Structure 1
């Protein structure tokens, strides 16, 4: 048995070791980059035909139309003729487990859920694996920034915003504590065959979980008040993590999909005077006036999912983005964000494309996965659009990112050109070569049939 357990441990570790990206991270930008003859899509403004963009030390210094600025003699430049291709801000996945899970069947590669229900001190970025093979595959499709939102329990920790290239988690972190995650209990009873608890038991469990969330925030508020009255009191890392939320410096990200959940969560946040962002929001259109009244944004978790109820319209998830846009709700679009979605985060632009096919404008769809996502994650001042002073995190493409056949040809994160090589491109080369080698010889060469 001891030998068998040792073999299992070795297999788990070997699987973890094999799931490591071997690519070299990009060095800091060391010269001015000038991209010209491009179709610039700033997102925050009109499309610029025959445009240019320059960036230095990781920041955009100029965006415009025509020939561009003049540079002093001797200036070290990298000139990039885009040849009429498009330049977009890097896409942003607002709801992911990137770097927290690699292989769902290998427990050693899962690090997205802490033990216990209340763990506000946890920061998702600290657990991110910078060498995850999922990162370069996702990056290949233009997604250069993601929000990493921990799961599990009631308060699973703090969300982080990371860039998709770096040697360490510190290199990756754009904002390591972007807000506090809260998983709101479902307030609906389940009457399925597999449910063994009565309706009253289910409702009592929901009330117990709601009290636990309230008790945690009460304890945090009491701790903050006590520390302000007496700074010599011992520091408690759990409640220190909640302090910026109570002060309104960062939001509380509340996972809630059903109408009753959203209404309850919003009422709770308003009562406690907290900034809130709803994550999920499948019934957000039913709460539009409430969300607008309190200026609460929604991270819609995907269009590639089934309708919620048997009697729902088949296109319910496809039209939700258009409806929210028409209602004037602040929103962005993300993927489902679960552990099985991590490896498919690269499909984010196609979630937006589905919304376009069902009535959303392409401009709104692009904004939903760039600037709107950055704003709801609290990094809209530095990411999400091509504006002077913002991070030079952008992509050059041969078409709209929403089209499956579009290729991301070059990518920059904070001015650093990022390799678009990954496990999948290596496999493509490998098997193209395989079939080149085994291609049947021309007839009549004397070989045996």
Structure 2
């Protein structure tokens, strides 16, 4: 009986922990409705990314960007426009900067809350090959990590599943909304493949090298079956015939029967052997591939070009050297090396989900080691949007694109820069989060004790400065 009571008590604690994990994962910041008035941002330096930078520029936007003007062009345009009451919202941004919202190209935002609590991690499906699984369906729109990233200007994110050889389909989300449907920019942005490790490892522990080689061959065979089996299924399927869910999920990512490109296949590969094998696999089947990771991409330039790879999502720059004889700045210089080689790329943060807000600083390191500041910004905006397949709508400030922009007091790659206001699809979003609320709570304690003034500055003692 005592044992049963102990088990029941333990089960109760586990259930409570799971419920608590869910409670901790609730985002309580306001979700604002669709914009019902146009917005005019005036006087700022507008960094369009897709074109020239405009000093003393003007951005006019609703849900989409209506136009981007110099001050003189705006005055001429405004003289021809009659606004319906109550008119647009005007923002005086003199001395500020306007940038497109940052895009985290490779994240698990919404799929993972606390790595130490299994109940809050939903990144992997059961099974080695699950192409039918959609990351978008598992996203938690109430994740507390979403507003944390948003506070530092990350307004769009690519969300990738993990686990197994083919863990499912990635998606792109906007970091604002009530439901998964509100967040989704693309429900099925591309099929994700985790390329197998291609080398055996000699060591005292673990399986023998011949067993490792056998496992590598088996995993490559399963991967081949996933794509070649889907192609055979498509060619053999008769109208009204039986449906195979997994083959059906792969078919959209194969070349079209008429020869057109299929959907994007995101292949995660870092080692040179992985990259060259993945490129050969993709070239043989005519797949539209984006490499994810790419630590050794500079060693595989010819293979990447021969395969027609669309680009490389570099997962972080704050990485240690890969080999004992590597240069200390190998990872820092990789973006510039790919630029010089003519390979499209973007930069992802490469950090745990809770630190996705640090995305701009990964690009800043690349700027310190070879990229220009403009290339650094583009690597986390327009280049990221293009590799996620949403470059026609996001990533730059241009007429007709989504009004997903931010107003800052400096370059977002600088640690000292603050994002003062942000808009996603024309809706101004709340930039508070659990950390800013906690910060204000602590400040209030010291204000009540008279140690800080209303602005949060250290209070002057009586008689000071007299």
The aligned counterpart of 1:400 is 411
**Residue 375 of structure 2 corresponds to residue 364 of structure 1:** yes
> So what's the TM-score if we normalise by structure 2?
0.91
Instruction: Tell me, yes or no, if the aligned pair for 2:393 and 2:402 is still in contact at 8 Å.
Output: yes
TM-score, normalization: structure 1? 0.94
Q: How does 1:278-289 map to 2 (within 5 A)?
A: 278-289=291-302
Q: 2:67 aligns with which of 62, 71, 79?
A: 62
Deviation of residue 307 (structure 1)?
Answer: 1.1
Deviation at 1:235, TM superposition (A): 2.6
SS of 1:317 mapped into structure 2: helix
The equivalent of 2:11 in structure 1 is: 5
Separation (CA, whole Å) in 1 of partners of 2:229 and 2:83: 62
Taking the aligned partners of 1:3 and 1:23, their CA distance within structure 2 comes to: 35
Q: Residue in 1 aligned with 2:251?
A: 243
1:443 CA drift (Å): 8.5
User: In structure 2, what is the Cα distance between the partners aligned to 1:191 and 1:12?
Assistant: 41
Equivalent residue number for residue 14 of structure 1: 20
Provide the residue aligned with 2:425 in structure 1: 414
1:73 to 1:262, Cα distance in 2 relative to 1, 3 A? closer
How far did residue 261 of structure 1 move? 0.4
2:234 match: 224
Distance 2:202 2:138 in 1: 38
Supply the distance in 1 between the matched residues of 2:460 and 2:371 (Cα, whole angstroms).
Answer: 52
Cα shift at 1:199: 2.1
Using the TM superposition, name which of 130-139 and 358-367 deviates more: 358-367
Deviation at 1:234, TM superposition (A): 2.6
Match of 2:273 in 1: 260
Which structure 1 residue ranges, 5 or more long, are not aligned? none
Offset of 1:420 from its aligned partner? 0.3
Instruction: Say whether residues 1:175 and 2:186 are aligned partners.
Output: yes
Q: Distance in 2 between matches of 1:395 and 1:332?
A: 20
Looking at structure 2, the residues matched to 324 and 80 of structure 1 have their Cα atoms a distance apart, in angstroms, of: 39
Distance in 1, matches of 2:70 and 2:304, equals 39
Give the aligned partner of residue 333 of structure 2. 319
Partner of 1:309: 323
Question: Which secondary structure does the structure 2 equivalent of 1:64 belong to?
Answer: strand
Q: Which residue of 2 aligns with 1:434?
A: 445
Q: Structure 2: how far apart are the matches of 1:328 and 1:156? A: 30
Q: Name the counterpart of 2:241.
A: 233
- Report how far residue 311 of structure 1 moved: 1.8
1:21-73 deviations in whole A, cap 9, x for unaligned?
A: 112212101111111111010111111111111112x1111012114131305
Q: Which structure 2 residues correspond to residues 33-112 of structure 1 after superposition, within 5 A?
A: 33-56=39-62, 58-67=63-72, 68=74, 69-70=77-78, 71-75=81-85, 76-112=87-123
- Number of equivalences: 438
Q: Is the 8 A contact 1:250 1:378 kept in 2?
A: no
* Kept in 2: contact 1:321–1:355 (CA 8 A): yes
**Alpha-carbon separation, structure 2, partners of 1:293 and 1:5:** 56
Partner-residue secondary structure (3-state), 1:267: helix
Q: 2:33 — aligned with what?
A: 27
1:295 to 300, 303, 308: 308
Quote the RMSD (CA, aligned, Å). 1.7
Quote the residue 1:213 is aligned against: 223
